[in-house]
Structure 1
Amino acid sequence: MEALQSLVGTINGWAWGPPMLVIILGVGLFLQIGLKFMPIRNLGRGFKLMIQGRESVGEGQISPFNALMTALSATIGTGNIAGVATAVFLGGPGALFWMWMTALVGMATKYSEAVCAVKFREKDDQGNYVGGPMYYIKNGLGAKWAWLGVVFAIFGAIAAFGIGNGVQANGVAQVLETNFGLNTSLTGIVLMGLTGAVILGGITRIGAVAGKLVPFMAVSYIFFGLIVLLINIGEIGNALSLVFTHAFTPSAAEGGFAGAAVWAAIRFGVARGVFSNEAGLGSAPIAHAAANTKGPVNQGLIAMLGTFIDTIIVCSITGLAIIASGAWTSGESGAALTSLAFETSLPGFGGYLIAVSLSIFAFTTILGWSYYGEKCVGFLAGTKALLPYRLLWIAAIYFGATADLGFIWLLADTLNALMALPNLIALALLSPVVFKVTKEFFVSNGQTEEPGGNPAE
């Protein structure tokens, strides 16, 4: 086991080393520039389309809004609470800046992923729309690249059990045991029951649950997070100064904080940012491919909001709360650090709030990733493999909730990067298609080189 852990650790160091960070940020920046920063400039259009997207307007299984909520259900999770705290603990306040940079270029990545997902999606033998990197590689790049789609599907099917199942179940079990004294076995059993009741109904039921649960919890977390920031409003200016300063200069040791080099801020900021918003991983387009949408660009404009909401809004609130409250120098890490920041500002309530938030966010992540994993398996083995995969997924939750997942965390982090590689290669190769489809969309709506204005009717 030690040899295996050492091997995975070595791969992890390479996977999240300079080459991967350059590829993730480089492809995102390339797409953002190629799109003439359209995703950033059309943020308002995206939100309007999201609101309009509560109703189904085309062919697919779920509404555009529920497709976004399903994608958000898989992204808003432990990454927003424990992941941000870990980034600040290991990289200092400057890590939050690099999370922002990842999100700004990631909006173009997420937009492009959804455009390709809808354009190159297909129907399975049950009549359901399926899509994602494996399909836009197969249908967009042709037979000579088919192996790359298989590689993505293999990584995705395996990674789902780490990032989307074991890590989430373990996070719920640990936080409920710490704050409420609940036995981890009991938590595992309850999670199995709740998850089974939803995922056995397929994407329609997952989308319906996500469409109600995700907005409620996200708004609730943002509301209480803003209260924490208001309580510490006198320190917000200093917190922002620390974020921008330590993004480019080393963070000195302070209190329980051991100090961090600029490289640590970049590495952990980008890594945790990608872990949280999943831009470039290729997971979210699997959900967006099932949307009832007017076309690829419409869904792309909605999809890019996932990165903005997840990182620019939710992760920022977590990070600034940790820094402004002074908790970042306590020596705590992960969910315990975020819990300390909220408890310091909201005594007797803040810690429980984080426990409940993390539990529900993690549960919705389990739902979203179950769909991602089964579609990867469906691509590899056909629809006959879907039910067995769902049953295995439900059973794995108990193991995740009750086991020591130190190694699983490492494996999940590594597979994150390995998933991203095939997807980023495909996006770079398909970028001319994305640019062409985008230009045609805006031209057809009376706009030329500078897309913007009112959303298409």
Structure 2
Amino acid sequence: MQMITAFFGLIEDLTWGWALIPILVVFGVFITVMSGFVQIEYFGRMFRVLSGKNQTGDPNAISAREALLVSVGGRVGGGNIAGVAVAITLGGPGAVFWMWAIAVVGMATSLVECTLAQLYKRSNGDGTYRGGPADYIIYGLGVKYRWLAVLYAICLLLSFAFGFNAFQGNTFAGAANESLGIDRMWTGIGLAIITGFIVYGGIRRIAKAADVIIPVMAVIYIGLALIVIILNITDLPRVFVSIFANAFGFEEVVSGGVGAALAQGLRRGLFSNEAGLGSAPNVAATADVRHPISQGITQSLSVFIDTIIVCSCTAFIILLSPVYQPGMEIDGIVLTQQSLASQVGDWAQYFLTFAILLFAFSSIIYNYYLGETAVRVMTSQPAALHILRWAVVAVVFLGSTAPGATAVFFFSDPLMGVLAVVNLMAIMMLFPTCLRVLDDFRVQLKEGVLRPVFKPKAFPDLNLDENAWPHAKLVEQEFSASMRPAPSTT
């Protein structure tokens, strides 16, 4: 067992410890520059998806907004409450600035990986679609790289569907036990039952659940943060000055100074928004959209929501409270709870329990779908999905009822590092293809097309599924009809 633990420890050191974060940052900056700052160019366009007007009309299809909310539910989790607190504790207020910086860069990375997932997606034949890094490796790089796709799928399954779901169950059960006194057994049973109901409904039920849960989760948490900000509005300029001064070394509040702020901000930001890690593209591929770039833009918004909005809410709750003191040693979730309670009252601990429930549950259903995508890469046997669903329900129950059981999933972070490396290799090689698709989108906008439509036939050298782009067929039919001669009246 010690050899296995040491092996995965080495993998974690070689990925997260040594190279992965710098690579994610450098590649994100490279994408931003080479794409012409695409995340800034289409920033206003991102918010169109929230209106729901972009629904294609197919009742079976997953809309762009539904796919967005599923991915937001996966990105937003315990890291947005506890992780931000840890970053501030270890890195000082300046860590918040570097979280913002990596989010802006990550928006471009997310746009590229999610655009590629859309580009190479496959139709299921029933109005739904599937795709992700495994598919753009197989169909974009070629079948000779299938082994790389399988490696990615294995890491995705073990880290997200099993490891992180056990941690999510454990997080919620612990919060419910501490604040409400509910026994872990009952929490585990309830969470397992709800999880089973959702996952047996497939991606449609997952999307419908997310369409309800995520807006409620976001509105309530953001609303409470706004109350804290309004109550301390006169102190807000001081907080901003502290964030920027600490970020650039003009003010040192923790040992390590700028280095600590930079390291903690980048690490927590990347862990939170997952840009470049290859998880969100699996959900992005399910959306029925007119152009791959459209969903890429939408997924950039999910990074913005996760880090710039939700993480900032936690940061301001902490930095505006009298609880936080530079250099203090305190558990992340406890710091957030105490900071919120000091502003609005002791009832805040119950609210945070509710928030953690929504965060944990949205992450569980998101993580399950990633596992389902991974299984489909490895086998087409229907029985495999049933085994996965029962296994995920069991893991959620186990993680909830036995706190020590989560130690079994020590391999989750190292394997997430491996799948991130695989995904980065793939998008680096396919980035020129993404730029071609981006140019197509820009050309159509310049020609006055309000909602650009992707035409697979314009890219004959790519291995694409034309059935995954029904809007292109409709445009071709309309064009053919307009070119027919008018019927003779004689």
Output the TM-score relative to the length of structure 2: 0.86
Name the CA shift for 1:136/1:357 in 2 (closer, same or farther; >3 Å). same
Match of 2:64 in 1: 64
Task: Write the distance in 2 (CA, Å) between the matches of 1:17 and 1:163.
Answer: 20
Match of 2:16 in 1: 16
Alignment identity in percent?
34
SS at match of 1:327: coil
Q: Deviations over 1:44-93 (max 9, x none)?
A: 11111342456235797311110111111111111111121122222222
More displaced, 108-117 or 143-152? 143-152
The question of whether the paired residues in 1 share the 8 Å contact of 2:134 and 2:377 is answered with yes
Match of 2:395 in 1: 396
Q: Which runs of 5+ in 2 are unaligned?
A: 454-490
Name the CA shift for 1:162/1:53 in 2 (closer, same or farther; >3 Å). farther
After superposition, the CA RMSD in angstroms is 2.4
Task: Write the distance in 2 (CA, Å) between the matches of 1:408 and 1:40.
Answer: 42
**Residues 303-452 of structure 1 correspond to what in structure 2 (within 5 A)?**
303-329=299-325, 330-384=328-382, 385-401=384-400, 402-404=402-404, 407=407, 411-446=411-446
Match of 1:245 in 2: 245
Structure 1 position 271, deviation (Å):
2.1
Structure 1 position 24, deviation (Å):
0.6
Match of 2:86 in 1: 86
Task: Write the distance in 2 (CA, Å) between the matches of 1:415 and 1:261.
Answer: 31
Structure 1 position 455, deviation (Å):
5.9
Task: Write the distance in 2 (CA, Å) between the matches of 1:279 and 1:64.
Answer: 18
Task: Write the distance in 1 (CA, Å) between the matches of 2:40 and 2:261.
Answer: 24
The question of whether the paired residues in 2 share the 8 Å contact of 1:238 and 1:324 is answered with no
Task: Write the distance in 2 (CA, Å) between the matches of 1:188 and 1:393.
Answer: 12
Match of 2:26 in 1: 26
Match of 2:258 in 1: 262
More displaced, 435-444 or 324-333? 324-333
Task: Write the distance in 1 (CA, Å) between the matches of 2:142 and 2:209.
Answer: 36
Q: How many residues align?
A: 449
Name the CA shift for 1:410/1:227 in 2 (closer, same or farther; >3 Å). farther
The question of whether the paired residues in 2 share the 8 Å contact of 1:172 and 1:359 is answered with yes
Q: What is the letter of the counterpart of residue 101 of structure 1?
A: A
Q: Deviations over 1:190-213 (max 9, x none)?
A: 000011111100000000010111
Q: Which has the larger radius of gyration?
A: 2
The question of whether the paired residues in 2 share the 8 Å contact of 1:140 and 1:430 is answered with yes
Output the TM-score relative to the length of structure 1: 0.91
Q: What is the letter of the counterpart of residue 375 of structure 1?
A: T
Q: What is the letter of the counterpart of residue 19 of structure 1?
A: A
Structure 1 position 310, deviation (Å):
0.5
**Residues 103-122 of structure 1 correspond to what in structure 2 (within 5 A)?**
103-122=103-122
Structure 1 position 6, deviation (Å):
4.6
Name the CA shift for 1:66/1:53 in 2 (closer, same or farther; >3 Å). farther
1:75 aligns with 2:75: yes
1:275 aligns with 2:271: yes
1:153 aligns with 2:153: yes
More displaced, 377-386 or 327-336? 327-336
Name the CA shift for 1:157/1:349 in 2 (closer, same or farther; >3 Å). same
The question of whether the paired residues in 2 share the 8 Å contact of 1:89 and 1:333 is answered with no
Match of 1:217 in 2: 217
Structure 1 position 251, deviation (Å):
7.4
